[in-house]
Amino acid sequence: MEEIKTKVLVIGSGPAGCTAGIYASRANLKPILLEGEQPGGQLTQTTDIENFPGYPDGVQGMQMMNELRDQAIRFGTEIKSRTIVKVDFSSRPFRCEDDRGDIYIAETVIICTGASAKYLGLPDETKYMGLGVSACATCDGFFYRNRNVAVVGGGDTACEEALYLSTLAKKVYMIVRKDYLRASNVMKKRVEERENIEILYRCNTVGLFGEEGVEGAHLVRDKGTDHEENLDISIDGFFLAIGHKPNTDVFKGFVELDDQGYIRTAAPCTSTNVPGVFAAGDCADPIYRQAVTSAGTGCRAAMDAERYLMDHNEF
């Protein structure tokens, strides 16, 4: 076991984590960044990214994250391929233990662990990931202009995704397990009145099909009943809108979380309820969940950490 001291420990390596590393290292804070189980975050599983500033022709997710990582290293961020498994924020300096047993003694911590989209658990979701399967309509909807798509879910998020896609796609199916929408009345009214949205109630997705990408979905209506019915729909895109799970379990008991597990911050700052601990990116954002907003909060968290250290004469 090794004990490693640092002024700034960044946990997570998505856009928020890398940007926090860039800003903290440029402030000469010599941050250590721990990549976690998925170096680069969710964007490494994304093919084309067209809505991140600075890439007029788009960019592959893996390429963009590699470039952000290289930029952080260039300014002095030390990056380790480790995952935090235990923390103690009860007193400063903070103690964080990684999956190899090493302990990080940190004056400040920036949590950038992200959030994972919930999936149905179908093998086909993995097979067609980036080839028609997505968990972000805002990110990928542009690729489905004038095509047929499906949105899985019946809550407000699913309705929002369906409404957004309906402005781009020719046809939008909403696949809903129940015989009603769980969404608010105003959202229900909007999707029901949108001409190119068709709601498929009492339907479960059991598979996807297609040669080089998604071409359709296998559905079962009234599954497990006497009038169970199999049906296929022709689609090019399959969007999951059944929620996200923030990757914050390891911080429970120290950092204040909301009902969904997202870290509460003292907006507009990135401070948590623990002085010296900050949160950025999707782990503290149940609303926007975009790469550019994550990068922005990563910048703010690094600046907040710098100010905190200066205020405590630890710069």
Q: Enter the tokens of residue 257.
A: 């979380």
The CB density around residue 58, as the number of other CB atoms within 10 Å, is: 13
What lies within 8 Å, CB to CB, of 205 at 6+ separation is 120, 122, 150, 152, 175, 217, 218, 219, 238
Q: Enter the tokens of residue 109.
A: 């911590």
Terminal alpha carbon distance of the chain: 27
Separation in Å, CA 139 to CA 58, 82, 85, 263, 276: 12, 28, 31, 23, 33
| Catalytic residue numbers, as ranges | 136, 139-140
Rounded CA gap, 43 and 140, in Å? 12
Please report which helix (H) or strand (E) contains residue 230, including its range: strand 229-234
Please report which helix (H) or strand (E) contains residue 11, including its range: strand 3-11
Q: Where are the alpha helices (DSSP H) in 60-213?
A: 61-74, 123-127, 137-140, 156-166, 185-193
